[in-house]
A = this chain, B = another copy of it.
Amino acid sequence: MPYVMVQIPNPPAPALPAPTRSVPTSADVARLAGVSRATVSYVLNNARAVRISEPTRRRVREAARELGYVPHAAARSLRAGHSRMVLMPAPAFPVGPLYSRFINELQAALCLLDYTVVQYGTVGAHDDEAARAWAELRPVAVLVPGAGLGPQGVEVLKRSGARAVVTLGPETVEGAHALLMDHDVVGYSAGAHLFDTGRRRIGVVVPGEAGLDTFSAPRLAGVRAAVRGTDATVVELPLAHEEEAAAGLAARWRELGLDAVFTYNDEYAMLLMRALQDAGIRIPEETAVVGADDLMLGRLLRPRLSTVRLELPSGQELADLVDRAVREPGAAPEAHKVLGASVIRRDSS
C-alpha cells in the first residue's frame, strides 16, 4: 500500500472574511467592554501591579473571547522594548533521547518563569548570518546549542536587545554565558575503565555523520588523555552508521589487533557488536565493547552493553541562569562546566 496523495472532497467552507481586515483589535475589545484600551491591555497581559476590579477584568475577558481577540506579542514587545521570547536554534546534530529530555525540562522551567520558548529552524543559515536572522525576532535571550556562534554573532544579538546569550558547547564565546559541555570526560571515563580492566589496544569509533564531530573529537581526545603515559595505544576508527561499513571494519578486526573498543555511543555499539559477532569475534573475551548514553537497547543486547552515562544539568538550573542573566544584562558572562560522566559496567567489558 504505497503512499498516494489523495484529495478528499470536503464540504465547502463558509466564505471567510478577508483575513487582515477582520482581525479584531484591543480598541474593539475596549469598546465592547466599555473600558479604556489601557485597561484592556492591563487585564489581558496580566499586569498585576495595576488595581482593576474583578468584574471589570471579567468583562474585558468576555469581550475578548466574544471577539476572538488575543494580544499581539510583537506589539507588546515593541512597547516594552523587549520580548519574553527565549529563542533556541534547533541543534544541527542528531538529537538523542537524553538531550531531548533536557530540552523539554528546560522549556517547562522557562514557561513557569513566564518566558515563551521558540525553537528556530536553522536550515541553510550559518554562524553570524544565523545570528542576524535570530536577531530579527528580538528575543530577550538566546540559547545556542553546539559550536558555531562567534563573538560577532553575540554582538549582533546584544545590539538587537538580547539581554542574555548562552552557549551550550565545547568552548566559551566572548560576550556570552557558557554552559561548557566538554565531551572529553565521556571518552576519559571509557578509556580509564578499559585501561583499568587490563585492555591495552583501544579502538575509538569516530562516526561519519555530519554535525557529530563537535562531540566525537573531544571523546577521542578524552580516551587518549586517559591512557597518556602508559603502555596502552589508541586507534581511531572512522565508521559510517551502515551495516556494510561495520562488516568491513569487522573483517579486518584481527589485523588491527584491538582488545577493546569505545564506540562513541550505544547505537554504534549495537551496529559494531553485531558485525563483530557475525565475524566470530568473542565479546568481551577477545574485544571489550563500551558505548555511551545508557540507552535501553544496551540492556537488550547480549552480552549486555557496558556504557558511559552522561550527566547533564537540570533544565531548572539552566532556566534560572537564563532568568538571572536577563535580569542583570550588565553582569560578567558566567561559564559553567556542566557535563559529567560515569561508567555503567555490564557484560561487554
Contact = CB atoms under 8 A, between A and B. Distances in A.
Given A124-B111, A317-B5, A118 B116 contact: no
A208 to B, nearest CB: 14
A234 B270 CA distance: 33
Nearest to A3: B340
A57 interface: no
Interface stretch (A34-42, A155-163, A256-264, A281-289): A155-163
Interface in A291-349: 296-297, 299-300, 311-313, 317, 329-330, 332-342
A210 interface: no
A275 to B, nearest CB: 9
Interface stretch (A14-22, A48-56, A199-207, A212-220): A14-22
A16 B336 contact: no
A100 B93 CA distance: 12
Interface string A44-84: 00000000000000000000000111111111011001110
Given A3-B312, A337-B5, A342-B1, A136 B300 contact: no
Contact of A156 (B13, B68, B77, B337): B68
Say which size band chain A's interface belongs to: 35 or more
A107 interface: yes
A12 interface: yes
A75 to B, nearest CB: 6
A165 B136 CA distance: 24
A117 B108 contact: no
A161 to B, nearest CB: 5
How many copies of this chain does the complex contain? Answer: 2
A90 interface: yes
Contacts of A223: none
Greatest chain B CB density within 10 A among A18, A155, A297 is at A297
B3 A163 contact: no
A241 interface: yes
A90 B6 CA distance: 26
B107 A123 contact: yes
Contact of A75 (B3, B78, B116): B78
A161 B77 CA distance: 18
A280 interface: no
Contacts of A159: 22-24, 67-69
A97 B317 CA distance: 29
Contact of A108 (B70, B107, B124, B337): B124
A172 interface: yes
Contacts of A336: 5-8
12 contacts: A1-B342, A3-B339, A6-B336, A16-B329, A19-B329, A19-B330, A23-B160, A67-B159, A68-B159, A78-B78, A104-B123, A117-B120
Given A24-B159, A74-B75, 15 more contacts: A3-B311, A7-B335, A8-B337, A12-B332, A16-B329, A19-B82, A23-B81, A23-B161, A70-B135, A72-B78, A73-B136, A73-B137, A73-B138, A74-B83, A119-B119
Identify the 7 closest CB pairs spanning chains A and B, nearest first.
Answer: A3-B340, A74-B74, A3-B311, A68-B159, A107-B121, A119-B119, A73-B136
